[in-house]
Amino acid sequence: VNGTLLPPAVIVQDVDGSMDNGVVSHEYGHGVSNRLTGGPNNSNCLNNGEQGGEGWSDWFALMYTIEPGDSGSMARGMGTYAIGEPVNGSGIRRYPYSTNMSINPQTYADLAVSSEVHDIGEIWCVTLWDLTWALIGQYGFDPDWINGTAGNNIAMHLVMEGMKLQPC
């Protein structure tokens, strides 16, 4: 103001879902899964509460925000920036994603007590997250999404090809 800097307490940060890399990547994931599931001429396959779209979308958000040095046991919340939490907060899901069962204890058995689409999606995402880190553990991590051949690249390839192959 008048050529002077505002004190840090006065600076207001624009916290919004459109500024959250996880939220943006999650929404992108819906476009991918809707386009690929059921074939190119059927974008309405994922229309019931038991479909995997929310899980794939969370998984895309996790995948596109992995950095060298990360590990599967780290807590990774979904939508944390949008609600003002650190990246390892719970975010907008019941638990942060992690391969560490003391951080995220969900298993396939939790589907029996999960009726909301995001809750069901969490189970699918944590399953894919476990797969991803098992592949990274065996084949390593490569930040090159175009030419890479490491475990994260293999996981991405498997999920994308799986969506192309599955019927409605």
Q: How far apart are CA 140 and CA 86, in angstroms?
A: 26
Predicted confidence (pLDDT) at residue 70 exceeds the cutoff of 90: yes
Total Cβ atoms within 10 A of residue 113: 7
Total Cβ atoms within 10 A of residue 59: 28
Instruction: Give the pLDDT confidence of 102-156 residue by residue, as tens digits.
Output: 999 999 999 999 889 999 999 999 999 999 999 999 999 999 999 999 999 999 9
3-state secondary structure of 76: strand
3-state secondary structure of 141: coil
How confident is the model at residue 10, as a pLDDT?
47
Predicted confidence (pLDDT) at residue 2 exceeds the cutoff of 70: no
Catalytic residues: 27
CB 55 within 8 A of CB 124: yes
